[in-house]
Amino acid sequence: MAKVMQDRDALEAGSPLANASLEFLFPSPVMHFDWPVSEGFNERLKEIILDARAHSSGVVKTNRGGWQSETNLQNWSYPEIEALKEQIIQLAQEYVARTLGKRDNRYETGWSIRAWANVNQKGHFNRTHDHLGRHSFFSGVYYVDVGDIDEQGNGNGRTVFEDWTYVATSILDNPDHYQRDFKMVPKSGRMLLFPASLMHSVETYTGDRPRITIAFNLFHPGFAVARLAERERSADWMWTNFRGVVILKRKIPEKLFGFAMIPRLFFSKPIPRPFSFRVLWAHFSTTVNHAFALTSERFEKRKKD
């Protein structure tokens, strides 16, 4: 950044347009902090997550391979989860204070959290996505165990923040004049916080030990997102205007394929004990969600191919 400022000063000194104003608009604030927690804390979180994986088939959303829990980790009854939630709120308060330039007691309370666990192993990754929604204005990641990723990022599995501003960049002499993507090297105990609208992905992990994280979304009623309603309407445009075409061409074959997958998935995972109607229904619901998520992934890949 210092070199960019020096280059800019040198240009302005000999330019007939030296008085032209150049503004850098709409930054995406990203905060990270390495919590000074004991190894025992992360080891316990790891045990909790791997135990949950053993009893649930998980869901498929942006994860390609790997395992992702339902978005209810904030309700898991463990003291370590409660401690982690407190850390998330502390970082959110610091984030708000830094971005606003002052501390405001109104943001000390009122936060809501939705969280989920992720386990990636060799060959697994997360495709590009964002988390923006009516009740998710900020997002974050806590690295529980980064597996075989070292401080230089060997092992891949880095969190990649992607530039989707569509600003043109020079490709003649300096293709990196603007930093298009930022790759955050995971570190066990590190927590990230960023706007939920910021596009991001996870590189294909090449390590042997599991890469374990907890992701979360935050909402506070003291914030609003500009043009969120327009975004939601835009996302529904195809459904509103071409509902019949979408259903006939893709949805019916996709749903039929999903229904056919349910029996195999239902019996591929052990049913949690003790048996009860509620347990069976929860297992069936998870299986249905998993089947249709896998089906969507399959049809999405077929469409790209």
pLDDT tens per residue, range 48-106:
999 999 998 889 889 988 999 999 999 999 999 999 999 999 999 999 999 999 999 99
Which of 208, 227, 246 is at the close of a domain? 227
The single-letter code of the amino acid at 108 is: E
Whether 286 and 172 map to the same domain: the answer is: no
| CATH number for the domain that contains residue 36 | 2.60.120.620
Mean pLDDT of 173-195: 86
Alpha helices in 55-160 (DSSP H): 79-100
What's the pLDDT at 155? 87
What's the pLDDT at 13? 64
Which of 176, 209, 227 is at the close of a domain? 227
SS3 content of the chain, % helix, strand, coil (to 5): 40, 20, 40
Residue 18 lies in a domain: no
The model's pTM: 0.76
Q: pLDDT band for position 258 (50/70/90)?
A: confident
**Is residue 3 pLDDT above 60, yes or no?**
no
What's the pLDDT at 121? 94
Whether 259 and 223 map to the same domain: the answer is: no
**Is residue 217 pLDDT above 90, yes or no?**
yes
What's the pLDDT at 302? 62
* Of 295, 301, 272, 300, residue with least CA distance to 284: 272
Whether 103 and 204 map to the same domain: the answer is: yes
**Is residue 32 pLDDT above 90, yes or no?**
yes
Residue 282 lies in a domain: yes
Whether 208 and 275 map to the same domain: the answer is: no
Whether 38 and 141 map to the same domain: the answer is: yes
Two tokens, residue 127: 């495709």
Whether 81 and 167 map to the same domain: the answer is: yes
Strand-pair partners of 120: 211
Whether 117 and 170 map to the same domain: the answer is: yes
Residue 8 lies in a domain: no
What's the pLDDT at 22? 85
Mean pLDDT of 144-155: 92
- CA 158 to CA 203: how far, in whole Å? 5
Whether 157 and 104 map to the same domain: the answer is: yes
- CA 112 to CA 192: how far, in whole Å? 17
Whether 133 and 214 map to the same domain: the answer is: yes
Residue 19 lies in a domain: no
Whether 219 and 241 map to the same domain: the answer is: no
Residue 214 to residues 7, 51, 71, 113, 300, Cα–Cα distance (Å)? 41, 14, 10, 12, 26
- CA 185 to CA 160: how far, in whole Å? 9
**Is residue 301 pLDDT above 70, yes or no?**
no
The single-letter code of the amino acid at 46 is: K
The 3-state DSSP class for residue 228 equals helix
- CA 140 to CA 142: how far, in whole Å? 7
Total number of domains constituting the chain: 2
Residue 92 lies in a domain: yes
Which of 227, 253, 284 is at the close of a domain? 227
What's the pLDDT at 178? 65
What's the pLDDT at 91? 98
Range of the structural domain that residue 125 is part of: 26-227
Whether 179 and 197 map to the same domain: the answer is: yes
Whether 52 and 139 map to the same domain: the answer is: yes
**Is residue 1 pLDDT above 70, yes or no?**
no
